Amino acid sequence: MNSSPLKFLGIEVDALNIAQLNNLIAKSIQMQRKWIIANHNLNSLHIYHHDPKMRAFYAKADYTHIDGMPLVLIGKLRGYSVEREHRVTYADWVYPLMKEAANKGWRIFYLGSKQGVADKAADILRLKYPGLKIACAHGYIDVRQDSQDNQNTIAAINAFQPHILMVGMSMPRQEHWILDNLEQLQTNVILPSGACMDYVAGVVPTPPRWMGRMGLEWSYRLFSEPKRLWKRYLIQPWFISKLLIQEMWGIQNQPQLSFVNKTRVSTGTQQNLSLKEKSRVKRSRKKTYPFASFRNAANPLPSHQAINMHDQWLKTHNSRFLERHI
């Protein structure tokens, strides 16, 4: 297991496989700690950059595993040691997790899915893994912290005293709920687990696992639920592509940006520069980007403010171009 998280596209993730994730849960239970083990995929990455509360949730997470082959590929592109086995979805993890829980006597509480769906999934899992201790509650509740519905749900969870709490309400609702109620929850490990039990119950078709290993699971899910997922798989990737291009472009231009910053500070020293260096300074003055200050050796990735500034710069630049040529 990597001792330090992988950092790219403004997020941090941990290269963890299923066995390592199960070991983390065992360690949390043994140490009597409360850990959030979150996950990141392209959808969560998009939400993360647009939702401050989502960023607050990930700041609270103790570990964040990779739930999407594109993030594995981006990690490789950035030079990290990350492999296919580090891409862990709940469609793959749920059964090894339940087997481990049955063997070690871990109690699991699942909050999520429509009424009756989680109970059906729990019955299937109990048959498959005798001795499994699992309780469920549907996720269609009033999630306001002070609502009676919410307080009753928390009371039911705490009464069961679960070692593992799985919350499957879809993103970002499940992350928001965990963040809002974290202090009241009495458990060792909290897992935002999406449609995990929907897959087990057969309500949502489970993509063939070979498609998951090949990074093609998104296409199966898109054709299965086009109305719900078209935006996630056809629109959001463009934003992620922009982030990646900005990050790679910023890193490649760090030396030049560093040089430009130095010349701005030490004005009046250009007589000591070569002709080539003077030409670079001249070009940099003509082409100054408002978000350049965010790309430096200490922070190569543009911040959320820098991304917004970049978008505004593009709009202004394009409008000026149209005024000149139309």
pLDDT at residue 249, rounded to an integer: 74
pLDDT at residue 254, rounded to an integer: 40
What residues of the chain score a pLDDT lower than 50?
2, 252-303, 317-318, 320-326
Phi, psi of 135 (to 5 degrees): -125, 160
Instruction: Find out whether 166 and 193 touch, Cβ atoms under 8 Å.
Output: yes
Comparing CA positions, the residue from 123, 120, 126 lying closest to residue 98 is 126
The widest CA-to-CA distance across the chain, in whole angstroms, is 81
User: Residue 141 in 3-state DSSP?
Assistant: coil
pLDDT at residue 102, rounded to an integer: 98
By the 10 Å C-beta count (0-12 exposed, 13-18 middle, 19+ buried), 50 is classed as exposed
The span from the CA of 268 to the CA of 215, in Å, is 55
* Cα dihedral sign, 168-170-171-175: negative
DSSP letter assigned to residue 265: H
Residues 6+ positions from 174 with CB-CB distance below 8 Å: 112, 139, 167, 168, 192, 193, 194
pLDDT at residue 246, rounded to an integer: 76
Token couple for 205: 């078709």
Q: For the whole model, what pTM was predicted?
A: 0.72
pLDDT at residue 258, rounded to an integer: 32
pLDDT at residue 218, rounded to an integer: 55
